[in-house]
Amino acid sequence: MNDMKTKYFLLSTFLLLMVRWSCVYGEDGSRLWLRLETANTATNITGVKGMAMSELETYWLGGPVVLKRQKNLPKDGYTIKSQGAKIVITASSDAGMLYGVFHLLRLQQTGQSCDQLDICEKPFYDLRILDHWDNPDGTCERGFAGKSIFLNADSERMKMYARANASVGINGTVLNNVNAKPEALSTASLGKTKAIADQLRPYGIRVYLSINFASPIKVGGLTTADPLDAKVIDWWKEKVNEIYRLIPDFGGFLVKANSEGEPGPQDFGRTHADGANMLAGVLKPHKGIVMWRAFVYAPQSPDRANQAYLEFMPFDGQFADNVIIQIKNGPVDFQPREPYSPLFTAMQKTQMMVEFQLTQEYLGAANHLVYLAPMWQEFFSFVKPSSLKAMAGVANIGDDINWCGHHFAQANWYAFGRAAWNPALTPAQIADEWLTQTFGEQGNLSPLLKLMLESREACVNYMMPLGIHHIFAGTHHYGPEPWYAPRGLRADWTPPYYHRADSIGMGFDRTTTGSANVRQYPEALCRLYNDINTCPETLLTWFHHVPWDHKMKSGRTFWDELCHKYDEGVREARHFLAVWDAMQPYVDAQRFSEVQRKLRIQARDSEWWRDACLLYFQTFSHRPIPQDVEHPVHNLDEMMKFRIPISMYENPENGYNK
């Protein structure tokens, strides 16, 4: 080889290696929190136990590990014990072994000692389920991270998805949107569901489907979907048999019925209990379950927050034993802050599960850094984890290279799994685990931990402090449009229905002399919330129409306090950016600049929220913005004209960009 050729050879080999290196180790977020380097290549993998062995073989760097089966351990639980030079993972099921292996790998990845191990774990909930709102055309309702990962289910991507879920104990996934297309039950579509189920099964994950209650008409060609009609019941039986022939471990159905235009038993003069129990009956022989949603509200209701309770309480105790009522954490709709849904403490004889939303429909989509575990912890401070049967989370996953659209949104997926495994884990413990695995060995991560823990409250402050809720843009739920009220639109789809601002004050009167929503809560809380002087200020305008001059605990008037809260939110969002900027030496270039870009959007959006809300509410309060808060820098008329031309399936690329 002459000199030129040698140089060319060396240069191209170097470039090739660089390309390979950046493909394998590109810091694009695609590896999620599972960032251990491959130690060996595993072969001969079959079944869940095979996956456990393969994970060990591929990633474990320590001494010998033995996987043992022992009957008397709790389902999916495991022990990890050091025995001399060996580590023994014992479980009663293959899934338990897999979870035990992931636990061990987590210890390795977070740099903890793996000597003298004596760990005993079991999941708090048997069902730890992600709900995808994915449509057959690949769009994801309120999905902000691209298209559905199930559309062209690429096997490597599916494997990573399954591993990620198993690593945090998620063991079920609802593949399609609760606004379910009837075609989800067509034979062609079930074939695709089977293919996905086959890919997820080795990781201990069962699949479920959302169904359209009118499927017997729309897919089956019947003239009715009346749940008490014999032909309808037979159709469901046959359909369910078909599903189980394809997918013997199919989990069951998730149902949104008689809500937001979806069909349901009430269309045929029947009740939620009739509908749910009929489906439960046909699933029962196969050990399938029905997750029946309580997210219902009628357009003519004087208070949307009352609705689920009013529709479901009469049936408490009447649901079959394989029905679980799935209830959103709050009574309205995944707002940055809501009180807990009163159904949780009211229903005593019904199996319930909570539905959290990981996709940040109302919390800045995939642009704002908002760590959600503190919100779930707040929920669990009112609702005993043991009063629930299961936990579901609306997935924030799409085909974006980093899965969730924002690197930090991955933390919400991670936290959901960990919290469903053990709701007693604190948000700080979970965030710490996630940060160390995701950004580990990159300097001191404690400023990021603090930032994550403060992020939810900051979002509440710059979007909707003091109990304000649902003042979002009409079409995309991203930015502020407290004025949005097109003529003829049903009132409960417009912000003025919720904020009720007028010359006296603002807020929804849900006291005993208002909509009486407070009565749905246990006696002590009812009294607390009913009195404007004892109601927590964080929920003040949720429960009260608060006079502008109402004296707050700070000594300020309500109006001045509102201005301060919005301003505090903006300052916090700007501070997050400064915290992140200081992390530059410790974070790889790609993730650093991608997160920085998002934090800049968040800071700009927080000003947009503050300015739009304060200037708009000022048209009612007629009070000046206090001198000691930063004054709006945008004009109300311009903000009122500003539109983000996106559908409910997209992330707003730039946020407020005027």
316 is annotated as an active-site residue: no
Instruction: Judge whether 372 and 354 are in contact, CB under 8 Å.
Output: no
Q: What is the closest distance, in whole angstroms, from the C-beta atom of residue 365 to ligand GCV in the complex? A: 12
Place of tokens 């004025």: 483
Near ligand GCV by CB under 6 A, which window of 172-180, 211-219, 467-475, 555-563?
A: 172-180
Count of beta carbons in the 10 Å neighbourhood of residue 364: 30
Which lies closer to ligand GCV via its Cβ, residue 177 or residue 410? 177
Q: For ligand GCV, which is the closer residue by CB, 632 or 652?
A: 652
The answer to the question of residue 542 lying near ligand GCV (CB under 6 A) is: no
Q: Which of 82, 108, 110, 179 binds ligand GCV (CB under 6 A)?
A: 179
Question: Hunting for tokens 């998730």 — which residue is that?
Answer: 254
User: Is residue 256 close enough to count as binding ligand GCV by CB under 6 A?
Assistant: yes
State how far the Cα of 584 lies from the Cα of 246, in Å rounded to an integer.
51
DSSP state letters, 43-71: ----HHHHHHHHHHHHH--SS-EEEEE-T
By beta-carbon proximity to ligand GCV, the closer residue of 260 and 653 is 260
- Stretch of 175-183, 208-216, 272-280, 371-379 contacting ligand GCV, by CB under 6 A: 175-183
Of residues 333, 341, 456, the one with CA closest to residue 388: 341
Q: What is d(CA 612, CA 126) in angstroms, rounded to the nearest whole number?
A: 45
**Residue whose structure tokens are 């983000």:** 644
Q: Is 234 a catalytic residue?
A: no
Q: How far is the CB of 218 from ligand GCV (least distance, A)?
A: 18
Shortest spacing between CB 609 and ligand GCV, in angstroms: 19
Q: Is 208 helix (H, G, I), strand (E, B) or coil?
A: strand
Cβ distance to ligand GCV smaller for residue 36 or 644? 644
- Residue 95: CA count within 13 A, CB half-sphere: 22
Q: Which amino acid is at 94?
A: D
Is there binding between residue 492 and ligand GCV (CB under 6 A)?
A: no
Report the nearest approach of ligand GCV to the CB of residue 394 (Å). Answer: 7
As a whole number of angstroms, the distance between CA 505 and CA 544 comes to 10
CA distance 295 to 297: 7
Which CB sits closer to ligand GCV, 99 or 416?
416
58, 43 Cβ separation under 8 angstroms: no
Phi, psi of 235 (to 5 degrees): -60, -45
Select the span of 72-80, 176-184, 219-227, 557-565 touching ligand GCV (CB under 6 A).
176-184
Determine if 545 is a binding residue for ligand GCV (CB under 6 A): no
Nearest distance from C-beta of residue 416 to ligand GCV, angstroms: 16
Question: CB under 6 A: which stretch of 104-112, 171-179, 317-325, 375-383 binds ligand GCV?
Answer: 171-179
Chosen residue from 53, 178, 294, 625 binding ligand GCV by CB under 6 A = 178
Q: Which two tokens stand for residue 185?
A: 């039950």
Residues 358-377 that bind ligand GCV (CB under 6 A): 361
Residues 112-151 that bind ligand GCV (CB under 6 A): 133, 141-142
Helices then strands, counting H and E runs in the chain, come out as: 20, 14
Nearer to ligand GCV by Cβ, of 295 and 403: the residue is 295
What 78-85 contacts at long range (C-beta under 8 Å, 24+ apart), as own/partner pairs, is 78/103, 78/119, 78/120, 78/121, 78/122, 79/118, 79/119, 79/120, 79/121, 80/104, 80/117, 80/118, 80/119, 81/117, 81/118, 81/119, 82/114, 82/115, 82/116, 82/117, 82/118
The span of 1-9, 173-181, 422-430, 494-502 binding ligand GCV (CB under 6 A) equals 173-181
Question: In terms of CB distance, is 295 or 576 closer to ligand GCV?
Answer: 295
Query: To which H or E segment does residue 15 belong?
Result: helix 3-25
Residue 298: other Cβ atoms inside 10 A: 14
Residue 540, Cβ density class (10 Å: 0-12 exposed, 13-18 middle, ≥19 buried) = buried
CA angle at 100 for the pair 428 and 69, rounded to the nearest 5°: 155
Dihedral sign for Cα 216, 218, 219, 220, please: positive
Applying CB under 6 A, the span of 177-185, 198-206, 384-392, 457-465 interacting with ligand GCV comes to: 177-185
Q: Site residues for ligand GCV, window 629-658 (CB under 6 A)?
A: 648
Binding flag, residue 469, ligand GCV (CB under 6 A): no
Binding mask 262-301 for ligand GCV (x = CB under 6 A): ---------------------------------x------
Quick count: other Cβ atoms within 10 Å of Cβ 571?
17
Q: What mask of x and - would describe binding to ligand GCV in positions 295 to 334, judged by CB under 6 A?
A: x-------------------------------------x-
Residue of 154, 260, 441, 502 marked catalytic? 260
Catalytic residue among 94, 134, 274, 361: 361
CB 398 within 8 A of CB 149: yes
Count of residues touching ligand GCV (by CB under 6 A): 12
Q: Supply the minimum distance, in Å, between the C-beta of residue 360 and ligand GCV.
A: 12
Given the complex with ligand GCV, which of 258 and 402 has the nearer CB atom?
Answer: 258
**Which of 333, 355, 433, 607 is the catalytic position?**
333
Euclidean distance between CA atoms 586 and 581, whole angstroms: 10
Closer of 295 and 608 to ligand GCV (Cβ): 295
7 to 16, 18, 454: CA distances (angstroms): 14, 16, 54
| 211 belongs to the binding site for ligand GCV (CB under 6 A) | no
Residue 637: both structure tokens together = 């008329």
Residue 521 contacts ligand GCV per CB under 6 A? no
Q: Which is nearer to ligand GCV, 133 or 414 (CB)?
A: 133
Q: Which stretch binds ligand GCV (CB under 6 A): 63-71, 174-182, 241-249, 439-447?
A: 174-182
579 vs 648, which CB is nearer to ligand GCV? 648
Least distance in Å: CB of 179 to ligand GCV? 5
Could you confirm whether 481 is annotated as catalytic?
Answer: no
Do residues 466 and 565 lie in contact, with contact meaning Cβ atoms separated by under 8 Å? yes
User: How far apart, in whole angstroms, are the C-alpha atoms of residue 373 and residue 411?
Assistant: 9
Report the site for ligand GCV in 34-63 (rule: CB under 6 A).
Answer: none
Identify which of residues 82 and 266 has a Cβ nearer to ligand GCV in the complex: 266
Q: Considering the rule CB under 6 A, would residue 550 count as an interface residue with ligand GCV?
A: no
Distances (CA, A) of 188 to 138, 196, 217, 243, 510: 16, 13, 17, 11, 49
Task: State the pairing for strand pair 78-83/86-91.
Answer: antiparallel
Q: How far is the CB of 485 from ligand GCV (least distance, A)?
A: 17
Catalytic residues: 260, 333, 361
For ligand GCV, the binding residues (CB under 6 A) are 133, 141-142, 177-179, 256, 260, 295, 333, 361, 648
